[in-house]
Chain A
Amino acid sequence: MRLKKEDLNKILALLAKNRELFVPGQVRGIKQFKLWDGETPELDGENTVLPPKDILFPKTEKMYAYKTGTETEISEIVDAPERVIFGIRACDMHSIECMDSVFIREGYEDSFYARRRAKSLIVAVACPGAGVNCFCESMGLDPDAAPGADIFLSGGGEFYGVTANTEKGETELKKWTQYLTDGDVPKGEAHCSLAPAMSPELSEKLTGLFDDDEFWQEVTEPCLQCGTCSFVCPTCYCFDINQSSVGDEGVAFRCWDSCMFSDYNQNAGGHNTRPTKKQRLRNRYLHKLAYFNERHGMELCVGCGRCINKCPAHLDIAEFIDKAAEVCHD
Chain B
Amino acid sequence: MSDIQSALHKRARALLENGDVEYVIGWENARGENKTRPAFIRRAEDAERLVWNRWCVNSTAKYLLHDRWPKGKIAICARGCDTRAINRMLSDGQVKRENIYILGIPCAGVENQICRRCAHRNPLVYDELLGEPAEEKTDFDRFEKVKEMQAMTLEQRRQMWEDEFTKCIRCYACRNVCPACNCRECYADQYRTGWQGKQFNAVENRVYGLTRAYHVGDRCIECGECERVCPMDLPIMLQTGRMLMECNELFGQYECGLSDDETPALGTYNLNDADSFG
The answer to whether A222 has its CB under 8 Å from any CB of chain B is yes
Q: Check B36 for interface membership: any CB of A closer than 8 A.
A: yes
Interface stretch among B121-129, B167-175, B237-245, B251-259?
A: B167-175
Closest-by-CB residue of B relative to A240 is B198
Considering the chains assembled together, what is the distance between the CA atoms of A232 and B30 in angstroms?
A: 21
Contacts of A319 in B (CB 8 A): 30-31
Complex: A60 Cα to B199 Cα, angstroms: 6
**Which of chain A's residues have a CB closer than 8 A to the CB of B40?**
218, 221-222
Closest residue of chain B to A262, judged by CB?
B189
B231 touches A310 (CB 8 A): yes
Interface footprint category on A: 35 or more
Contact B37 A314 (CB under 8 A): yes
**For residue A230, which residue of chain B has the nearest CB?**
B171
Pairwise interchain contact B172-A226, C-beta atoms closer than 8 A:
yes
Which residues of chain B (170-186) have a CB below 8 Å from chain A? 170-173, 175-177
Chain B contacts of A33 at CB under 8 A? Answer: none
Interface residues of A in 222-243 (CB under 8 A from B): 222, 224-228, 231-232, 240, 242
In the complex, A266 Cα to B191 Cα: how many Å? 11
- Count chain A CB atoms within 10 A of each CB in B163, B166, B198, B201 and give the residue with the most: B198
* Mask: chain B, 55-67; 1 = CB below 8 Å from A; 0 = not: 0001000110010
The interface centre, meaning the residue of A60, A224, A255 with most chain B CB atoms within 10 A of its CB, is A224
Chain B residue numbers with a CB within 8 Å of A226 are 171-173, 175-177, 229
In the bound complex, residues from chain B placing their C-beta under 8 Å from that of A225 are: 176
Contact A313 B167 (CB under 8 A): no
Question: How far is A228 from B234 in the complex, measured between Cα atoms in Å?
Answer: 14
**Which of A60, A221, A227, A314 sits near B171, CB closer than 8 Å?**
A227
Contacts of B35 in A (CB 8 A): 314
Whole-angstrom distance between the alpha carbons of A205 and B35 in the complex? 29
User: Contact at A316–B30, with CB atoms within 8 Å?
Assistant: yes
Give bound CA distance, A314 to B228, whole Å: 12
A11 within 8 A of B: no
Q: Which residues does chain B contribute within 8 Å of A284, judged by CB atoms?
A: none
Write out the residue numbers on chain B whose beta carbons fall within 8 Å of the beta carbon of A28: 163-164, 166-167
A234-273 to B contact mask, C-beta < 8 Å, 1/0? 0000001010100000000101101001110010000000
Chain A residues with Cβ below 8 Å from B62 are 224
A241 to B66, CA, bound (A): 29
Cβ B166 vs Cβ A231 within 8 A? no
A318 contacts B31, CB within 8 Å?
yes
With contacts A30-B167, A226-B171 known, is A314 near B231, CB below 8 A? Answer: no
Number of B residues, CB within 8 Å of A: 37
For A323, give the chain B residue with the smallest CB separation: B31
The interface residues of chain B lying within 8 Å CB-to-CB of A274 are: none
Is B233's CB within 8 Å of the partner chain A?
A: yes
Shortest C-beta distance, A257 to chain B (Å), equals 9
| CB pair B231 A132 closer than 8 Å | no
- For A312, what are the chain B residues with a Cβ–Cβ distance below 8 Å? 58, 173, 176-177, 228-229
A255/B189 contact (C-beta < 8 A), A222-B37, A314-B30 known: no
Whether B231 contacts A253 by the Cβ 8 Å rule is no
Q: A222-B38, A312-B228 are in contact. Are A60 and B176 (CB under 8 A)?
A: no
Known: A263-B189, A314-B58, A319-B30. A231 touches B171 (CB 8 A): yes
Query: Across the interface, which residues of B come within 8 angstroms of A266, CB to CB?
Result: 191
Task: Give chain A residues whose Cβ lies under 8 Å from the Cβ of B163.
Answer: 28
**Contacting A253 at CB < 8 Å: which of B36, B172, B189, B199?**
B199
Most buried by A among B38, B175, B191, B232: B232
Q: Is B32 an interface residue (CB 8 A)?
A: yes
How many angstroms between the C-alpha atoms of A34 and B166 in the bound complex? Answer: 14
Taking the nearest CB of chain A, how far is it from the CB of B169, in angstroms? 5
Using A224-B173, A224-B177 as known contacts, say yes or no to A256 and B200 having CB atoms under 8 A apart. yes
Which of B39, B173, B228 gathers most chain A CB within 10 Å? B173
For B177, list chain A residues within 8 Å (CB). 224, 226, 312
Q: Contacts A228-B173, A277-B66 given: A244-B197 contact, CB under 8 Å?
A: yes
**A residues near B, CB below 8 A?**
27-30, 49-50, 59-60, 132, 218, 221-222, 224-228, 231-232, 240, 242, 244, 253, 255-256, 258, 261-263, 266, 277, 310, 312-316, 318-319
> What are the 9 A-B residue pairs with the smallest beta carbon separation, nearest first?
A312-B229, A226-B173, A314-B37, A227-B171, A59-B200, A224-B176, A310-B231, A222-B38, A228-B171
List 9 A–B pairs whose Cβ atoms lie within 8 Å, in order of A's numbering: A132-B32, A222-B40, A224-B173, A226-B173, A232-B231, A255-B198, A255-B200, A261-B172, A314-B35
